[in-house]
Amino acid sequence: MLLIFEQILNGVQYGVMLFLLAAGLTLIFGIMQVINLAHGSLYMVGAYAGTWFAQETGSFWLGLPAGLLAAALTGVLIEVIVVRRLYDRDHLEQVLATFALILIFNQLVIMIFGRQPFFVAMPEGLQESIQLLPGLQYPPYRLLIIAAGLGVAVGLYFLITKTRIGMLVRAGATDREMVRALGVNVRLLYTVIFGFGALLAGLAGYLAGPIFAVQVGMGEQILLTTFVVVVIGGVGSIRGAFVAGLILGVLDTCLRAFLPGILRLVMAGPDADALGAGIAAMGIYLLMAIVLLIRPQGLFPAAH
Amino acid sequence: MSAPVLKVEGLVKRFGGLTATDHVDFDLADGEIHALIGPNGAGKSTLINQICGEMRQDEGRILLDGLDISGHSAPQRAKMGLARAFQVPSLLNDVTVLDNVTVAVQIRHHRTYRISDSPRGRRDLFAEAEGFLAGTGLAHRGDIVVSDLSHGERKQLELVVARATKPRLLLLDEPMAGLGASESQEMIETLSTLREAHGILLVEHDMDAVFNLADRISVLVYGRIIAHGTVDEIRADPEVQRAYLGEEDA
Amino acid sequence: MDRSNALKTLAAVIGLLALVAVPIIADAAGSTAWISMATRILIYGMAAASLNFALGYGGLVSFGHAAFFGLGGYVVGILYQTYADETLLFGFIPGTNQLLVTLPATILVTGIAAAAIGALSLRTGGVQFIMITLAFAQMLFFFFSGLSAYGGEDGLIIRRTNELFGLNMRDRATLYWVTLAITALFFVIYRRLTMSSFGTIVSGLRQNERRMAALGIEAYRYRLIAFILSGIGTGIAGAMLANVMRFTSPDLLAWHTSGQLMIMVILGGVGTVTGPFLGAAVLLILEDVLNAWTENWPLILGLVLLVVVLQARGGLMAIVNLVRGNRS
């Protein structure tokens, strides 16, 4: 029972990380109609830049703003140089141009940091597991990630429903012309949104460092899962990204944790492990296919 | 009089609280041009979309040659002989004028699943398509890619493509819209020669054209048909004058 | 008109002769690696051309064609292993090492897979279509990664290339000529398909679905057939690749492979007949040359791709046509 509870907590932690990535991606999807495969690269940039700065200064907490800043700046840069030209193009060209960006960023990271993965220590003060329930020791760092994700979710909710920029974002998702008519600099608005999405991706990347290794290609693994989150949640919907992120985080984590064990009841150990891992990895895609077939626009379709 | 080609009975379409089509009845005989007029927002497009099958009605029936087609999809209705020329030209823009007509001819011959054609077979289709272009303003424009055509030429092509399906009924959604004076005149002449072969439902703003061409007119205001009749009857109808023609003159 | 047709025929004949002569020229130049490269170009060309039928003609942006490429490879691999182990697949299907059996088997398997994936995916459109095709390919990727009986993540080694008419298929030149013959047959069928009545309908649906509906065309079934044909073509290419590499692995099903095929299509020119083959040649040779030149070749490839997508609309075929147009 405790084991299940622990895995569910791990799933929630993975889920909020997916949400941090998906929030930016779904905004960019919903408002600019751009498929940005390079979103995973921004996650990687945040992780590398932050981790490098943390190692240079010896402080995890100093690495955080560095990672956020680097990811946001990179985001603004690619918006201005590349993505801006893709707004009026079809999806195929967007996919390929941002696919090219993945190649470029991966190679640049290899050239700067090498191929060796970085392993990052838990931040000072959060290394010791704490007792959540009798018999359940849990690393506080993971709780911190959950708190950060929930904090961002609440912040985004207020930003979008209560502020002028949020109003523009909501309007932009449904009616670009209206936003233009309000005399808003749409170009600048897009750059800001893109940079903000990049910042969230960088946050996710940096926080992921102590849990997964910081390595080249880290962005692509999680990117595909993030796309699944966005599509299941409904393209353009922050609320959908949050719900779908949590569902997928928990589902994926639990399948990986428990499926091989269940299969081992009926087949040989190594085969059960391999098959279990395979099916567990298929799980989220299967869920997406089912959701799309029942609700082609996702769980929370953004108003259009 | 022969049995009507098209018969619309008690058609209703509501959007929320708004009734866009309000118990509309009318019919259209073979060889007849029946004009549907009405001010902007009267619900003409909604009505056309229901007749074509792009939109499903809430109540009522649509009959084509006595057959209830209310439940049929747009492609099924097209196959049964209902052809439409769009108000805003909606064509295959990447290919030529002749290709656009050929597609219509090909579909009429049910040649849609053939994955390997003899060159001869394709040539026959093209030859037939050229026949539909002959005598129109596009006769020598067959090789032009549609995206290079003028608006007026596209409107003409809409009509040729619709004719190439050899329909029972032509649904023309504002064929004069956006045309210059001489282009309009040509279009009126073309349409008057077509009445022999097809029933035509003509939705049009251009009153000269309507009074020139129509055998009968129905006037649609706020989703309801407020008057039915011949050109002279409609001209004389006081309610029509108030609701519609008066506006136009003002 | 006649003169230009004669010129075209002449160009086609010269092109075919040049292709037939590749192994001889390569032998004379002492670089037998060219033969393998040319074989791979033909195979990837078939895969990209097949994708192009769905993507360029039909407007169906599939991000999951690697699924069919990989399935083709696994049909050959699994049938070979069943043959080598002298067992029965699912208890009743005997294995085989005959190309004349494995290719039809590939057509059957990839056709069924494309029908299933297409039937479900085509219920969506736009971004959702891209993502759901990707999702199905990922499912197959993870399925084969977990299939330890057939190599799992490590892939499946096929000890000997499939046999055909007693030809010496271990000889690289022979294998090239066999591939060339299959590619030539594929090309003739593919070219006719793009110009056929069916091809016209599919391309019409890409340009204007509403217009086609008004003419009596139900989009779904035509798109589904186009998707199936496209999947089968890609599957045949995958089966040939497995034969040539004597290996197949989940990598063939990975989303990078789907991306690679899309790059070939856009490099060569979306919706053109010969473009995908040109795109395949350019991408594979570029990768090879850059790889020999610098270990940072993905960076340069990425930049080239970026420039092509952003600047050269219409791909290489647009440039070829431009040159041709200027000459005449």
| C262 → closest Cβ in A85, A96, A275 | A96
Chain C CB contacts of A107 below 8 Å:
296, 298-299, 302
Is pLDDT above 80 for C53? yes
The CB density around residue C248, as the number of other CB atoms within 10 Å, is 31
C310/A84 Cα distance (integer angstroms): 11
CA distance C125 to chain A (A): 8
The domain limits of chain A are 2-128+138-294
CA distance B105 to chain C (A): 10
A287/A254 Cα distance (integer angstroms): 14
- Backbone phi and psi for residue A129, each to the nearest 5 degrees, phi listed first: -65, 145
A21/A229 Cα distance (integer angstroms): 9
Q: Tell me what the mean pLDDT of segment B131-141 comes to.
A: 83
What is the reported pLDDT for B140? 85
Question: B38-47, B213-222, C113-122: which has the highest mean pLDDT?
Answer: C113-122
Q: Tell me what the mean pLDDT of segment B47-59 comes to.
A: 87
Q: Which residues of chain A have pLDDT under 50?
A: 304
Give C73: exposed, middle or buried? Use CB within 10 Å, 0-12, 13-18, 19+: buried
| C131 → closest Cβ in A227, A281, A293 | A227
Rounded to the nearest integer, the mean pLDDT of chain B is: 84
Q: What contacts B24, CB < 8 A, 6 or more positions away?
A: B8, B10, B11, B12, B47, B60, B220, B223, B224, B225
| A292 → closest Cβ in C128, C144, C298 | C128
B115/C118 Cα distance (integer angstroms): 19
Evaluate whether chains A and B are touching (3 or more beta carbon pairs less than 8 Å apart). Answer: no
What is the reported pLDDT for C49? 93
Q: B96-113 pLDDT, tens per residue?
A: 988 999 999 999 888 888
User: How many angstroms from the chain centroid is the CA of residue B193?
Assistant: 15
SS3 of chain B: the string is: CCCCCEEEEEEEEEECCEEEEEEEEEEECCCCEEEEECCCCCCHHHHHHHHHCCCCCCEEEEEECCEECCCCCHHHHHHCCEEEECCCCCCCCCCEHHHHHHHHHHHHCCCCCCCCCCHHHHHHHHHHHHHHHCCCCCCCCCCCEHHHCCHHHHHHHHHHHHHHCCCCEEEEECCCCCCCHHHHHHHHHHHHHHCCCCEEEEECCCHHHHHHHCCEEEEEECCEEEEEECHHHHHHCHHHHHHHHHHHHC
Q: What contacts A171, CB < 8 A, 6 or more positions away?
A: A178, A179, A182
Q: In chain A, whose CA is at the least distance from the CA of C313?
A: A93
Confidence of residue C327 (pLDDT cuts 50, 70, 90): very low
| C298 → closest Cβ in A93, A106, A275 | A106
Interface of C with A (CB under 8 A): 55, 61, 63, 120, 123-128, 130-132, 134-136, 138-139, 142-149, 152, 255, 259, 262-263, 266, 270, 296, 298-299, 301-303, 305-306, 309-310
The domain limits of chain C are 1-31, 36-263
Query: Is the CB of A65 inside 8 Å of chain C's CB atoms?
Result: no
What is the reported pLDDT for C106? 93
Is pLDDT above 80 for C195? yes
Q: B227-242 pLDDT, tens per residue?
A: 888 888 887 777 777 7
Q: Which of C57, C60, C133, C142 to mutate to test the interface with A (most CBs of A within 10 A)?
A: C142
What is the reported pLDDT for A177? 67
- Of residues A301, A216, A241, A287, the one with CA closest to residue A17: A241
CA distance B91 to chain C (A): 6
Structural contact between residues C206 and C12, judged by C-beta atoms closer than 8 angstroms:
no
Q: Do A224 and C134 touch (CB under 8 A)?
A: yes
Q: What contacts B3, CB < 8 A, 6 or more positions away?
A: B65, B66
**Distances from the Cα of A53 to the Cαs of A36, A61, A67, A112, A124, in angstroms?**
27, 10, 8, 14, 15
Chain C CB contacts of A297 below 8 Å:
128
- Backbone phi and psi for residue B81, each to the nearest 5 degrees, phi listed first: 110, 25
pTM for the full predicted model: 0.86
CA distance A83 to chain C (A): 10
Chain A CB contacts of C149 below 8 Å:
271
What is the reported pLDDT for B2? 60
Structural contact between residues B51 and B171, judged by C-beta atoms closer than 8 angstroms:
yes
Altogether, the residues listed in chain A come to a count of: 304
Q: Do C199 and B115 touch (CB under 8 A)?
A: yes
Q: Do C302 and A279 touch (CB under 8 A)?
A: no
Altogether, the residues listed in chain B come to a count of: 250
Q: Which of C51, C62, C136, C139 to mutate to test the interface with A (most CBs of A within 10 A)?
A: C139
Is pLDDT above 50 for C94? yes
What is the reported pLDDT for C131? 83
Alpha helical stretches, state H, chain C = 2-29, 33-52, 66-85, 99-121, 126-145, 172-195, 197-207, 209-214, 219-245, 255-268, 275-293, 297-311, 315-327
Q: A77-123 pLDDT, tens per residue?
A: 999 888 888 888 888 888 888 988 998 998 898 888 888 888 777 77
Beta bridge partners of B173: B203
CA distance C190 to chain B (A): 9
Chain B CB contacts of C227 below 8 Å:
none
Q: Do C213 and B75 touch (CB under 8 A)?
A: yes
C38/A142 Cα distance (integer angstroms): 52
Q: Do B78 and C213 touch (CB under 8 A)?
A: yes
Chain A CB contacts of C52 below 8 Å:
none
Amino acid in position C172: R
Is pLDDT above 90 for C66? yes
Q: Do C213 and B86 touch (CB under 8 A)?
A: no
With left for phi above 0 and alpha for psi between -120 and 50, is residue C90 left, alpha or beta?
left
- Of residues C251, C42, C95, C247, the one with CA closest to residue C160: C247
Structural contact between residues B11 and B47, judged by C-beta atoms closer than 8 angstroms:
yes
Chain C CB contacts of A225 below 8 Å:
none
- Backbone phi and psi for residue C133, each to the nearest 5 degrees, phi listed first: -65, -40
Is pLDDT above 80 for C313? no
CA distance A133 to chain C (A): 36
What is the reported pLDDT for C328? 36
CA distance A3 to chain C (A): 25
Q: Which of C299, C301, C311 to mutate to test the interface with A (most CBs of A within 10 A)?
A: C299
CA distance C320 to chain B (A): 19
Confidence of residue B249 (pLDDT cuts 50, 70, 90): very low
State both tokens at B227. Answer: 């008057």
B107/C213 Cα distance (integer angstroms): 11
Confidence of residue C105 (pLDDT cuts 50, 70, 90): very high
Q: Which of C194, C197, C207, C232 to mutate to test the interface with B (most CBs of B within 10 A)?
A: C197
Q: What contacts B139, CB < 8 A, 6 or more positions away?
A: B133
CA distance A27 to chain C (A): 14
Q: Tell me what the mean pLDDT of segment B174-179 comes to.
A: 83
Query: Is the CB of C132 inside 8 Å of chain B's CB atoms?
Result: no
C124/C122 Cα distance (integer angstroms): 5
Interface of B with C (CB under 8 A): 52, 54, 73-76, 78-79, 83-84, 86, 90-95, 99, 102-104, 106-107, 111-117, 121-122, 125, 161, 165
Q: Do A103 and C61 touch (CB under 8 A)?
A: no
What is the reported pLDDT for B111? 85
Query: Is the CB of C60 inside 8 Å of chain B's CB atoms?
Result: no
Structural contact between residues C215 and B164, judged by C-beta atoms closer than 8 angstroms:
no
Q: What's the angle, vertex CA A266, arms to CA A263 and CA A271, rounded to 5?
A: 60
What is the reported pLDDT for B41? 76
Q: Do C132 and A288 touch (CB under 8 A)?
A: yes
State both tokens at C302. Answer: 């990425």
What is the reported pLDDT for B55? 87
Structural contact between residues C61 and C261, judged by C-beta atoms closer than 8 angstroms:
no
Q: Tell me what the mean pLDDT of segment C134-159 comes to.
A: 84
How many residue contacts between B and C have a Cβ separation below 8 Å?
Answer: 89
Alpha helical stretches, state H, A58-124 = 60-81, 91-113
Q: Do C200 and B103 touch (CB under 8 A)?
A: yes
Alpha helical stretches, state H, A163-237 = 164-174, 176-181, 186-208, 218-233
Q: Do C310 and A231 touch (CB under 8 A)?
A: no
C304/C43 Cα distance (integer angstroms): 23
Rounded to the nearest integer, the mean pLDDT of chain C is: 85
| C200 → closest Cβ in B54, B91, B106 | B106
| Helix-helix angle C126-145:A269-294, to 10 degrees | 170
A46/A49 Cα distance (integer angstroms): 5
